[in-house]
Structure formats: structure tokens, C-alpha cells
């Protein structure tokens, strides 16, 4: 079996701290090693990770190795069976072979208990993906008692088959290489495996090739693993770990952490975690994060190059894979999800600063993000099916397309309405049918005042989204999706722990807010005594009124369609009704730890979910937003810059790259951790020249536009009366 007993898939590269430039294509920011205080914090971090259950037991490790061995035998027998059926000689049948490689967290050595194993099956040229893998091997696995929850996803960007084998989750990819016989000791790091293969195969192979390259490019593998394990845990707690939703997945976090290891080659894990937040709060996206130079190859596969490829100019947060062909592994990130991640990076940076000043413990960094108390308005996406098996496939399809809804809303509102898709899935167990739900926070863009009567209508946006969802090729009767607007006070009980809502916002984090403008709301929080003062909203502003003069009180009613399609009592409704809503001022709300920028806090929400002509609607009285303790969403320092200078041959030359304006970061390391104001003279001119060369445009692109041809969906009118 090709998979190594070591989760890393190979031996640990030699550690040579004396020669840090061996691992990076730019100079490090600091060669400093740990102090006594750093060592103490590192011991505390190790203990915290161990106590948090992030390491699997020896029994679990042995079970994983056994599953991989069994899977290797299954694919070998599968290839021999196909070889025999296709009339090859007995010798060919005997030599026929397939091998299993691992990638992702298991190959990097940072997997924890209960996580899935990313695996790649490499087979000979005459065994294809469409029929042999997704049909014949699928049927073989479906008949095995050890296999459960089998879910093929053939139309994914990287085609995959998901299942559980003896209770262990497996993501299995397939790559057919241009060899009649696959050797047991195949070296996938060699470029020859890419000869005469299609792009889905290249993407499948790249998972293993990238993992190996990452391990070769970090100065200290063990320090890298500990820091990565820590930051993946943090990302999951803060709700920003999900590639499919538009945040970052495992390979993205691995590359980001590996880059910090290169910039601080002698740092230990506690230092790397702190430097991670310090660097990436100052990173000027869409500058790409790269571990090595981008190189071309005679094979001619497309590489990430914003100068040659117009689509690459629209990438919001480029994180480039280190193996040929170099790709942007974070193409799913949108302007909205980048905004959310930047807020979380600033949150992490502030906590790490307090840890270094002995004002906080490591546990404070991993406080869970309270998503359902962060926004006033949400979109609720209910997914239903006739049974659990149908829901598994249907939910996977809908979840994989949710990021498009974010992109479409950004596109159709010119970025004025910001979305925060939450990657967690919620289930209403009171429903009679198989059910799943996802939520998306809504707010208008901060710092932009709406005009009287201004509206953003996303009815067509949701119609278009539903049309694409309904194009699912494996659709079955009973599969349906409903999109509805809910206010925070209307959130269903099943999203809260224990099935009921909190009566008031928890103040689990206490930070003194900064003043961000004349109209800013000031928040003051107590310390030590446990007492805290509420945020004080200025009442003198004439724009801040509780209710419009002369406007009668509003009463709420619930439409039949709302009860029929979303209520716990029934899931047998017919789709096709028109759900209407208008949000008169989607307000800016904050994460814990900062202040507001606008004084536009008066918010009125109207929502009507009604069948055409029914005359029934839901109207909600005016509400005033005065929630304290949320992080400022402004990130003005994010400017469009390029870090690669094309040479006379048009090739991106990494030797000339100025990654993140290293001079700036170097001064920031010694003088400041809060801004990028310490640029040397001439940096701005260089930035402008680089901008002109690569023509970066910091916006998201949605290429999957389908003309709106239906009106059977959500009507969302967003208005600002300020």
C-alpha cells in the first residue's frame, strides 16, 4: 500500500534553523528564538490542546490504519476485476494494480479524533472515473456491510465519493494516470504523473502533491503541526472553517500557517500562533500567500496568473498551492466571507496580545462565536427530503451551492448588502420529514448611508439561486428547499443549545472599544468585578427615533404558506408560493471587542410570507439596534496590490516578489502591531507600479449566472430610512 504508516506520508524533513532561506523564497521577518516566557506559554498551549481532545488515541490510530489497508485491498481487487472483464491477458490481470494515498490533515499529521480521512485512489489509464469509479466501485462499496452513508459527488470541482467505512469517514478521489500498470512505489511528486491527464485528475492529484510540498517547505515540521492543529481548532470555534461555504478549508489553513513558519523559522508554536494573527490582520489582500515561486511547465496546465488569466484578477483572497500547477486554493472566498475572516483575525490578534501581557489565558482565544446574537436579520435555508438517505445527497448539493447565493447577493446589490453564511448545519427534530437548515446573517455595508426610500430587491437573486438548485441531476420527489427571512427574535428554537433562546446577550469577552468616528457608539465593559455597563446610544441625534411619528402599531400574522412549508408540524407543502419580505435598514452589527462606526442605528423590519392574493402578511414593529460589543467591520487597509513582477519572458519571478511588503512587516514587528503605517519611502510608488502590472480588481466574480425565469421564491426588499 502506498500510504505510509506515518500520517505525514513520509519522513520528516531535516531541521536546519541556521539556513532559513532554504525553505522560503523571501527573507524571514525574524530569526529570534523563544524566550523563557514564550516557552511557558507554549507549555500552556500544549496542555490546552491536549485537554481539548484534539489528539486521537492509539486505538483510533490503529483503526484508521486498518481501514486504509482494507480500502487498499478493495481498490486492488476492483482494478483486477475490470482488467479481467476487458479481455486483458492473465499476466496483465496479475500485474493490474491501484494504490491509495492520503492527503489533507491525515497526511499532514494534524488530524484529530472523528475527522474524515482524505484519500486518493490512483488507477491505470483504462479505468475511468465516470463509469468505473462512480458506478462499478460505487456498487461494490454499496453492497458491503462495513460501508454506510455512501454519497457520490461526481460533478464537484474535485469529484469525490464520501462514505463511512467501519464508522470512519472517508473522502475518496480517483485519478487515472497514463500508465497501464501502476507501480506500488509510485512517486506522485514527480511531474510525470501529470502527463496526458485531464484537469479534474490534476486537481485530484494535487491534494497529495501539495501536502508533500508543504512538509518540505517548512523549517520545523513538528512546530508547524502544533500551530496548524491549534489554528484549525480556532477556526472551527469561530465559524470560519469551511471551504464549501466560502471560508477556508484544511489546505488553506495549512498554507497560511506554513508561510508564518517560513517568516519566523525559529519560532515555537505559541509564537507562531501569535505571529499568525499579527501578520494576517495586516495582510493587504488580494496579495497572494505563496510558499514558493510560481513556475511554468512544458505540460501547459493553467497556473494562477492574474496578468494572463482575467478570472484570476477577481480572486479576493488568493492562497496559492506550492505544487505545479500552482492554483488558488481559496477561490470560493467572497468579499463578505473575507470581511468576516478579517474580523476574526483581529479578534485573535487582540486576544493573543492580552495573552502575551498575561491578561488572558489560551481558553479565551477559543471562545465560540455566538452567530445568532451577531445580526438582526438572517436568511434561513430549509432543506427537506423524504428520508435520511435522500437528505444526505440533497443537502450536500445545496450546501455546495450556498456560496453562490452569497456571490449573487453581493453582485445584485453592488456589495451594499453583506452576507455572513454560517457553516454549521441545524436540524429540527420535531419535523416529520428529514430536515436540515443553514443560516446566513445579513447587514448593510458599513460606512455607507442609505438614502430615503432606497431599496435592494433580491427576489430575482433568490429565484436564480433556486433554479440552479433545482437542476440537481439526482433529484427525487420530496426534495425541496425554502428560503425565508427571519429576524433575530424570530429564530427557531432548534438553533439554540438546549432548544431555547438566551434571554440576553452573554458578555463572555470584555474589551474596551475604540472610538472610530464622531458618530461612534461607545462601549465600556467592566473587568474583575464581573460588572459591565451597557453600550450607551446617543439619543440626541434626531435620526435615532424609536418609531416614525404617527405610524400605528403593527400586528404580526403568519401566512398559511409559512406554516405549511417551514413549520415543524408538516413538511408536505408544495413549492411555488411567493415569499415576500422587506428589510427597512439591515443594520451593521458587531463581533465582541470593538465599536460601531455609524450612528444609523434605527432599524425597521417588515416581513411578509404570503401566497399571492392571500392578503396575509407578517409585519414586525420598529426595533432599535443598540447591541454592544461587536467588532468593527471596516478594513480600509485592504488595498489591491500585486506581489509578483513579470520578467521579460512573461513568467512570474518569485525571486523579485515583495511578499506583503516585507519592509513594512519588519517595521511592524518591532514598532507596532496595529497598523501598516510604517512603510518606507518609495513603497507606495512600488505598490502603484505593481497594481498597474497585474491590474488586480478586489471584487468577487460569479460566472454561473442563469437568467431569472421564475417568481416562485423569496422577495427581499432591503430599504434604508435613515
Q: Which of 162, 232, 376, 408 is catalytic?
A: 232
Taking every pair of Cα atoms in the chain, the longest distance, rounded to a whole number of angstroms, is 90
408 is catalytic: no
In 336-421, the DSSP E strands lie at: 377-385, 417-421
609 is catalytic: no
Strands 147-153, 579-584: pairing kind: unpaired
Element of type H or E holding 606? strand 602-609
126 is catalytic: no
Name the region of 581 (left: φ>0; alpha: ψ -120 to 50; beta: rest): beta
* CA–CA separation, 538 and 567 (whole Å): 40
* CA–CA separation, 618 and 607 (whole Å): 5
How is residue 469 annotated by DSSP? H
171 is catalytic: yes
Cα dist. 361→261, 366, 623 in Å? 23, 10, 37
Residue 427 bridge partners (DSSP): none
Grid cell listed for 256: 497560511
553 is catalytic: no
How is residue 3 annotated by DSSP? S
Q: Which of 23, 106, 174, 241 is catalytic?
A: 241
Element of type H or E holding 255? helix 250-263
Name the region of 95 (left: φ>0; alpha: ψ -120 to 50; beta: rest): alpha
Q: Which of 52, 61, 88, 116 is catalytic?
A: 116
Cα dist. 693→25, 384, 643, 663, 690 in Å? 21, 49, 10, 21, 5
Q: Which of 171, 212, 390, 687 is catalytic?
A: 171
Sole residue written with cell 517547505: 217
622 contacts: CB under 8 Å, gap ≥ 6:
546, 547, 548, 551, 602, 603, 604
Q: Do 337 and 244 meet the contact criterion of CB atoms below 8 Å apart?
A: no
CB atoms within 10 A of CB 688: 11
Q: Do 211 and 164 meet the contact criterion of CB atoms below 8 Å apart?
A: no
CB atoms within 10 A of CB 6: 11
Q: Do 452 and 471 meet the contact criterion of CB atoms below 8 Å apart?
A: no
Element of type H or E holding 581? strand 579-584
132 is catalytic: no
Q: Which of 8, 105, 242, 573 is catalytic?
A: 105
356 contacts: CB under 8 Å, gap ≥ 6:
37, 41, 274
Residue 99 bridge partners (DSSP): 122
Grid cell listed for 310: 482575467
Q: Do 592 and 630 meet the contact criterion of CB atoms below 8 Å apart?
A: yes
Helix then strand then coil, % of the chain, to nearest 5: 35, 15, 50
* CA–CA separation, 565 and 256 (whole Å): 43
Q: Which of 118, 132, 609, 659 is catalytic?
A: 118
Sole residue written with cell 500485474: 95
CA–centroid distance for 477 within its chain? 31
* CA–CA separation, 20 and 31 (whole Å): 8
Task: Tell me whether residue 655 is exposed, middle or buried, using C-beta atoms within 10 angstroms of its C-beta: 0 to 12, 13 to 18, 19 or more.
Answer: exposed
Question: How many CA atoms, within 13 angstroms, populate the side-chain half-sphere of residue 473?
Answer: 5
Residues carrying an active site annotation = 105, 116, 118, 171, 232, 241
Amino acid at each position: 500500500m502506498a500510504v505510509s504508516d506515518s500520517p505525514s506520508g513520509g519522513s520528516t524533513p531535516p531541521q536546519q534553523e541556521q539556513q532559513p532561506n532554504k525553505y522560503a523564497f523571501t527573507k524571514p521577518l525574524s530569526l529570534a528564538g523563544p524566550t523563557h516566557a514564550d516557552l511557558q506559554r507554549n507549555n500552556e498551549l500544549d496542555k490546552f490542546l491536549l485537554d481539548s481532545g484534539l489528539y486521537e488515541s492509539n486505538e483510533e490510530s490503529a483503526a484508521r490504519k486498518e481501514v486504509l489497508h482494507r480500502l487498499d485491498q478493495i481498490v486492488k481487487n476492483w482494478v483486477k476485476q475490470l482488467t479481467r472483464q476487458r479481455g486483458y491477458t492473465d499476466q496483465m490481470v496479475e500485474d493490474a494494480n491501484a494504490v491509495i494515498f492520503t492527503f489533507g490533515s491525515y497526511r499532514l499529521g494534524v488530524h484529530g479524533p472523528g475527522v474524515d480521512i482524505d484519500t486518493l485512489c490512483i488507477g491505470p489509464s483504462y479505468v475511468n472515473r465516470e463509469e468505473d469509479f462512480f458506478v462499478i466501485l460505487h456498487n461494490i462499496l454499496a453492497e458491503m456491510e462495513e460501508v454506510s452513508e455512501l454519497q457520490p459527488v461526481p460533478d464537484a470541482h474535485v469529484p469525490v465519493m464520501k462514505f463511512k467505512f467501519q464508522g470512519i469517514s472517508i473522502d475518496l478521489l480517483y485519478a487515472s494516470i497514463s500508465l497501464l500498470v501502476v507501480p506500488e512505489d509510485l512517486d506522485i511528486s514527480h511531474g510525470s504523473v501529470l502527463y496526458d491527464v485531464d484537469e479534474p485528475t490534476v486537481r485530484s492529484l494535487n491534494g497529495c502533491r501539495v501536502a508533500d510540498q508543504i512538509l518540505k517547505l517548512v523549517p520545523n515540521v513538528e512546530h508547524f503541526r502544533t500551530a496548524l492543529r491549534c489554528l484549525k481548532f480556532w477556526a472551527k470555534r469561530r465559524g470560519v472553517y469551511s471551504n464549501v461555504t466560502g471560508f477556508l478549508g484544511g489546505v488553506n489553513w495549512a498554507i497560511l500557517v506554513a508561510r508564518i513558519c517560513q517568516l519566523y523559522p525559529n519560532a515555537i508554536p505559541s509564537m507562531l500562533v501569535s505571529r499568525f494573527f499579527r501578520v494576517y490582520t495586516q495582510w493587504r489582500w488580494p496579495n497572494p500567500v505563496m510558499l514558493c515561486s510560481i513556475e511554468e511547465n512544458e505540460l501547459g496546465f493553467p497556473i494562477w496568473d492574474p496578468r494572463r488569466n482575467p478570472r484570476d484578477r477577481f480572486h479576493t483572497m488568493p492562497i496559492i498551492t506550492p505544487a505545479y500547477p500552482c492554483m488558488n486554493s481559496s477561490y470560493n472566498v467572497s468579499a463578505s466571507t473575507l470581511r468576516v475572516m478579517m474580523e476574526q483575525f483581529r479578534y485573535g490578534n487582540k486576544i493573543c496580545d492580552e495573552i502575551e501581557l498575561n491578561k488572558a489565558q489560551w481558553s479565551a482565544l477559543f471562545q465560540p462565536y455566538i452567530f445568532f446574537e451577531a445580526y438582526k436579520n438572517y436568511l434561513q435555508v430549509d432543506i427537506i427530503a423524504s428520508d435520511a438517505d435522500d437528505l444526505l445527497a440533497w443537502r450536500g448539493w445545496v450546501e455546495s451551492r450556498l456560496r453562490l447565493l452569497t456571490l449573487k447577493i453581493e453582485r445584485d446589490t453592488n456589495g451594499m448588502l453583506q452576507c455572513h453564511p454560517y457553516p454549521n448545519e441545524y436540524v429540527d427534530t420535531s419535523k416529520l420529514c428529514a430536515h436540515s437548515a443553514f443560516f446566513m446573517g445579513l447587514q448593510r455595508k458599513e460606512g455607507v448611508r442609505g438614502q430615503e426610500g432606497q431599496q435592494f430587491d433580491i427576489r430575482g437573486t433568490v429565484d436564480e439561486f433556486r433554479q440552479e438548485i433545482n437542476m440537481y441531476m439526482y433529484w427525487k420527489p420530496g426534495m425541496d428547499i425554502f428560503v425565508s427571512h427571519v429576524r433575530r427574535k424570530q429564530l427557531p428554537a432548534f438553533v439554540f443549545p438546549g432548544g431555547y433562546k438566551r434571554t440576553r446577550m452573554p458578555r463572555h469577552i470584555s474589551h474596551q472599544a475604540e472610538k472610530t468616528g464622531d458618530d461612534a457608539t461607545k462601549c465600556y465593559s467592566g473587568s474583575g468585578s464581573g460588572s459591565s455597563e451597557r453600550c450607551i446610544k446617543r439619543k440626541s441625534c434626531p435620526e435615532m427615533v424609536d418609531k416614525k411619528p404617527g405610524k400605528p402599531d403593527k400586528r404580526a400574522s403568519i401566512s398559511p404558506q409559512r406554516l405549511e412549508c417551514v413549520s415543524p408540524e408538516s413538511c408536505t407543502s408544495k413549492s411555488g408560493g411567493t415569499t415576500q419580505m422587506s428589510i427597512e435598514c439591515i443594520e451593521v452589527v458587531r463581533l465582541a471587542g470593538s465599536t460601531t462606526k455609524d450612528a444609523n442605528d434605527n432599524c425597521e423590519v417588515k416581513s411578509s410570507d404570503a401566497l399571492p392574493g392571500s392578503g396575509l402578511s407578517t409585519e414586525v414593529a420598529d426595533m432599535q439596534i443598540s447591541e454592544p460589543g461587536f467588532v468593527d467591520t471596516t478594513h480600509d487597509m485592504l488595498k489591491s496590490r500585486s506581489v509578483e513582477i513579470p520578467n521579460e519572458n512573461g513568467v512570474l519571478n518569485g525571486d523579485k516578489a515583495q511578499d506583503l511588503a516585507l519592509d513594512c512587516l519588519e517595521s511592524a514587528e518591532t514598532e507596532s502591531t496595529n497598523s501598516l503605517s510604517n512603510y518606507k519611502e518609495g513603497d507606495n510608488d512600488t505598490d502603484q507600479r505593481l497594481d498597474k502590472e497585474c491590474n488586480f480588481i478586489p471584487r468577487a466574480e460569479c460566472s454561473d449566472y442563469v437568467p431569472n425565469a421564475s417568481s416562485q421564491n423569496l422577495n427581499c426588499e432591503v430599504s434604508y430610512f435613515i
